[in-house]
Amino acid sequence: MKKTLMTLAMATVAVGLTGCGEPESKGVDPKIYTDSLFAVMKADRTNYTKLVVKRLGPAGANVIKPDEHWKDIDNGTLLPAQMFRAGAEAVAEMTDDFTYSLQSIWPINSQNAPKTDMEKKGLEYIAANPGENFYGEEKLGDTTYFTAVYPDVAVSDACTSCHNDHKDSPKSDFQLGEVMGGVVIRVPL
């Protein structure tokens, strides 16, 4: 009798948690997952740019200098895109649950150009539709991925001046608030 009551109680709790006959949840919706990841990435990137790089720029160059070749100069520090890549590489060493990268259809560094049709389609979409995100699925090898592309917007004149003045930049007229590229987040399904 005790075993039957315990089984009945556990079944009641299970039904209550899954919602009266509804199928059990299989985890977080990929869109909610990638939207949440992007919110954290965007906040970190924006704050690093505005609170660190902008303050250290040319006026702070005598102490710490944000520079593309930061490893080669005394007191150099990473640019925002380099900081973002370092974070993505560190995450890739910790988990296979997702990957992310900063890309652009106007990359200064060819490493940041789109590599798949889905990435290119997403980057073109967010550039043509400011304020919107792009979502899709793609199969790479034997794995199907949920791929999300979010706009990477110029949040500071440090962004626009760096890109507009860079000798390798294919675009030299970026404006504050404009989409400069995108954050690509990929989650295996």
SS3 labels along 100-160: EEEECCCCCCHHHCCCCHHHHHHHHHHHHCCCCCEEEEEEECCEEEEEEEEEEECCCHHHH
Q: Kindly state the tokens that stand for 161.
A: 């001046």
Half-sphere exposure of 43 (CA within 13 A, CB side): 6
Yes or no: say if 123 and 115 are a contact pair by the CB < 8 Å rule: no
Per-residue model confidence (pLDDT) at position 148 = 97
Amino acid code (one letter) for 62: N
Q: Kindly state the tokens that stand for 20.
A: 């009266």
134-149, pLDDT tens digit by residue? 999 999 999 999 999 9
Q: Binning pLDDT at 50, 70 and 90, where does residue 4 land?
A: very low
Yes or no: say if 146 and 179 are a contact pair by the CB < 8 Å rule: no
Per-residue model confidence (pLDDT) at position 129 = 97
22-69, pLDDT tens digit by residue? 555 577 888 988 898 888 888 887 877 777 776 676 555 557 777 778
- DSSP secondary structure code for residue 81 in this structure: H
- Sequence length of the chain is 189
Q: Write down all domains in the chain, each with its CATH number in brackets.
A: 30-188 (3.30.450)
Q: Count the neighbouring beta carbons within 10 Å of the beta carbon of residue 11.
A: 10
Per-residue model confidence (pLDDT) at position 57 = 62
67-82, pLDDT tens digit by residue? 778 778 877 777 888 8
Per-residue model confidence (pLDDT) at position 44 = 83
Q: Binning pLDDT at 50, 70 and 90, where does residue 20 land?
A: very low
Mean pLDDT of 144-173: 91
Q: Residue 43: which H helix or E strand, with range?
A: helix 30-47
87-131, pLDDT tens digit by residue? 888 888 888 899 999 999 999 989 999 999 999 999 999 999 999
